Structure 1
Amino acid sequence: MTDANDHPQQDAAVDDLPSRRTPPAVAVVDAQFPGNVGTISRAMKNFGFSNLLLIDPPELDPDGEAYGFAGHARDDVLPNATEISFDELVSDYHTIGCTAVTNENDRSHMRFPFSTPADLAERLPTVEAPTALVFGRERVGLTNEELAHIDEICAIPASEEYPVLNLGQAATITLYELRSLALDKDETQLPDLERVRADEATVDRLYDQWADLLEEINHPPEKREKTMRMLRRVYGRADLTEREANTFLGLLRRATERPAEQD
């Protein structure tokens, strides 16, 4: 049996693999409307994707709809798009066809089972091959013949009554769910979401202040223990910050002092 510490350099290389992989490419097959290509380019820019592949695209006039819909992606993602054939796409990439699945099963669908975008976000970091997310036409999506050559499919969970999404919407939702493959947490505009919980001494003072208030307002003695237990559960779930705890302390202290002031 080999100890993992026997090969520190090899282990480090394995650990580094996800960071060296490039995000999936985005392939659009036979889009009919330039605006949808622009919308997909913009979504790619929003969520950190850059490699746009176009199969039989419409004309993309720099003064037309595609560039108008692309936002800042008109500066890099859209003009750097690569036009390739469908055969080249399935030959060079591990392909994931994004399509609506309408309650079909292994007997009636060309590719089954399917993954959701959230499933892919967890699994794709372990896929070694270059990967492409493939979106089809506005009206009919990907044909059965195309799906037969694609490696797997992905579907967005939606209403059973109407699961079909607009091409631009489908791409935007999918890329949002997969943003962790292209963006690190410190590369988004959101601040650090980790909350700094108030220290235990402050929280304990809060509980003491509640106990003082219950006594001051003559809360029935036989109910105080149960009330304090409930308050601990509520505050425990809330993970109060230092500022929140101190604000409550001030309010409770004032509430406790008021009856004495009135007397």
Structure 2
Amino acid sequence: MNTNPEIAHGVRANGILTNYHDSGSGFPVLLIHGSGPGVSAWANWRLTMPELAKRSRVIAPDMAGFGFTERPQGIAYNLDTWVAQAVGLLDALDIAQADVVGNSFGGALALAMAIRHPKRVRRLVLMGSVGVPFEITPGLDAAWGYEPSIENMRKLLDIFAYDRSLVTDELAELRYQASIRPGFQESFSAMFPAPRQRWVNAMASREQDIRALPHETLVIHGREDKVIPLSTSLTLAQWIDRSQLHVFGRCGHWTQIEHAQRFAKLVGDFLTEQQS
């Protein structure tokens, strides 16, 4: 019997055997995780899923190359692959439309998904999101360039969190162990090789496409984020017509962990309020 909480259901999404979590009932919400080393949907969203599941059906997949989703030989890790996998998951679960919440790297996927498949997305939440041009930060360069060691994982957590008391050495040990599972580091290091500015650019959507988005959008950022600069969310909030922006003070890159209750309430309220 599986005792690992990170492993839940399996289904083929656009041909990729995808590990995903599925809880609650109501209008579906697709949660797309970030791209830190050893990440999985569960590691990213474990505090958010039970709260959102009180009001919505919550679906959180491991994207290709991450977590416990299959890593097919010769797969191209890029926006096209990931967006097709996300839409393929909705197809496999017979979901015509969902709200989409994207964290960091996942924000770029959520944005691209809304642009390419506008009818599949109802509302959009972008948290500490990639998806617009910016100069790569030392923090993101360090995260994407991670080489497995407990010391390097501790350093990364120092970069990710504003309040290090939330991000314990125990968590560093867990995330380090996750990053050295068979296949994990191989796919991770293949994904964003140096020079890494090109991957920031490759994840960006075109300004005119973002400006044309009709979706109600909630943009969230931590003021002290050292991984993705706050300026990216200011840009998104300016470009997306039906957007609102919420900035958490005393918060780094992990809003959903550092301000877990407030984050879940903010997102839950936004997704369940009546359309204006």
**TM-score normalised by length of structure 1:** 0.29
**TM-score normalised by length of structure 2:** 0.28
Q: Which has the larger radius of gyration?
A: 1
User: If each structure's strand is expressed as a fraction of its own residues, which one has the higher value?
Assistant: 2
